[in-house]
């Protein structure tokens, strides 16, 4: 199973169980990074959400992506290399199935999110297994063109927050435009936010996503 770190409202929680039925957000880093890259984002999410930072399975250096870790080999445009992407999705499947062991308690609703490759992983999983996900946070990723990711409408698909920089040189903004349209055609509820920045995450974006997640959780509580 993927290596993880649990963050609760008051910080890292090694050896401490999350409260039972806590909403969970699995956050996945970008290529060449590691889980610590996203740890500072903890404070922007609602306190009741348990954050699980997951480490990608591949050493990034094998593909020239830097000293950290990677989720897949990138083939260009919206195409992750098929086998490495499939392997990481399978590892994510196992993490989701073993979430009770990670939290030390029964999990509540499950969110996926991440930056760049981590965002792409989140979108791919949500389209593959839509009924399992309460929502997706995509920071500057793209919708993967992959044989395992369906292109047809997805009944019961989760709500998605998609933030993207209009000056992003790594994953150009036109990929966001194309990917968002694909999600809309699939029937997913989408909150699209654009920011005057490059390939990164801004404080404005984090404020927006915190409000979005609080709203999704509130709706879930009201309907439950």
Question: What are the CB-based long-range contacts (under 8 Å, 24+) for 124-127?
Answer: 124/80, 124/85, 124/89, 124/148, 124/149, 125/89, 125/92, 126/157, 126/158, 126/160, 126/188, 127/154, 127/157, 127/186
Find, among 155, 219, 222, the residue nearest to 187 by Cα.
155
114-132: per-residue pLDDT in tens? 999 999 999 999 999 988 9
Whether the full predicted model's pTM is greater than 0.85, yes or no, is: yes
pLDDT for 4 equals 97
Q: How far apart are CA 175 and CA 18, in angstroms?
A: 37
CATH number of the 4-223 domain: 3.40.50.1820
The string of pLDDT tens digits covering residues 37-67 is 999 999 999 999 999 999 999 999 999 999 9
Tell me the pLDDT tens digit for each residue of 80-118. 999 999 999 999 999 999 999 999 999 999 999 999 999
pLDDT at 153: 82
Give me the residue spans of the domains in the chain. 4-223
């Amino acid at each position: 199973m993927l290596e993880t770190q649990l963050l609760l409202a008051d910080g890292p929680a090694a050896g401490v169980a999350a409260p039972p039925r806590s909403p969970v957000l699995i956050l996945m880093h970008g290529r060449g990074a590691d889980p610590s890259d996203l740890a500072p984002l903890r404070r922007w999410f609602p306190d009741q959400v348990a954050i699980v930072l997951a480490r990608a399975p591949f050493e990034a250096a094998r593909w020239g992506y830097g000293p950290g870790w990677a989720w897949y080999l990138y083939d260009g445009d919206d195409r992750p290399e098929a086998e490495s992407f499939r392997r990481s999705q399978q590892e994510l499947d196992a993490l989701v199935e073993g979430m009770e062991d990670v939290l030390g308690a029964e999990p509540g609703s499950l969110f996926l999110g991440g930056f760049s490759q981590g965002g792409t992983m989140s979108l791919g999983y949500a389209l593959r297994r839509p009924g399992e996900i309460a929502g997706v946070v995509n920071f500057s990723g793209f919708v993967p063109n992959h044989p395992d990711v369906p292109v047809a409408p997805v009944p019961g698909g989760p709500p998605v927050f998609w933030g993207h920089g209009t000056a992003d040189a790594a994953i150009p903004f036109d990929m966001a435009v194309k990917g968002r349209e694909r999600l809309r055609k699939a029937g997913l509820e989408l909150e699209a936010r654009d920011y005057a920045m490059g390939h990164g995450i801004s404080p404005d974006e984090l404020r927006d996503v915190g409000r979005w997640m609080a709203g999704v959780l509130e709706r879930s509580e009201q309907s439950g």
